[in-house]
């Protein structure tokens, strides 16, 4: 396992080992012992989620509000995505900044997203299976988000608006400025 801190404080890019032979490949996607050994983080993940999406689907930018914020360990099981993480922690050195990462099932990378960050992804392949480990249970009353096309964040998703498939809920997400209020 290799761990690299991204440009966002506390957000980690993790590369897991892949064992390949003529049959295919094998990889360990998570070990609490390995995770702690390489990151020093003793996280108690309590919920795993899978989403399946077709090409052009954008999910996000989502987060849960305090006191139900979620730290997440994410990875692509099948396909390829543009993954976007926004730092919403007012006390953070990287508050208001975001990163864009291309995650592909073939590269065995995962990302640890600390509490207090918004997350979203755009599917780049025909089919995507996306996996989330969360350290807090999903709470509908704490669900929130920021519009993917927020003018202040100005995220380049690499797709034209008319090509992006959004849920009705995601079409109504507020701006980053309204989050600040």
Q: Which residues are catalytic?
A: 62, 132
At 59 the three-state DSSP class reads strand
Question: Which residue is listed with tokens 């993790």?
Answer: 14
DSSP letters spanning 78-124: ESEEEEEEEE--TTSTTTT-EEEEEEEGGGTEEEEE-TTEEEEEEE-
Question: Which residue is listed with tokens 């989620």?
Answer: 49
At 65 the three-state DSSP class reads coil
């Amino acid at each position: 396992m290799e761990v690299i801190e991204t440009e966002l404080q506390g957000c980690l890019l993790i590369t897991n080992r892949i064992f390949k032979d003529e049959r295919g490949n094998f990889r360990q996607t998570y070990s609490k012992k390995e995770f702690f050994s390489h990151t020093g983080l003793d996280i108690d993940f309590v919920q795993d989620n899978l989403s399946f999406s077709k090409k052009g689907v954008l999910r996000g930018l989502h987060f849960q509000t305090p006191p139900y914020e979620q730290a997440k360990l994410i990875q692509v099981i099948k396909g390829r995505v543009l993954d976007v993480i926004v730092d919403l922690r007012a006390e953070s050195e990287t508050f208001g900044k975001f990163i864009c990462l291309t995650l592909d099932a073939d590269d065995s990378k995962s990302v640890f997203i600390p509490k207090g960050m918004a997350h979203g992804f755009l599917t780049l392949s025909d089919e995507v299976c996306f996996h989330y480990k969360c350290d807090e249970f999903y709470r509908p009353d704490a669900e929130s988000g920021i519009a993917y096309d927020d003018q202040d964040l100005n995220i380049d998703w690499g797709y034209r608006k008319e090509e992006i498939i959004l849920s009705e809920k995601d079409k109504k997400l507020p701006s980053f400025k309204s989050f600040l209020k």
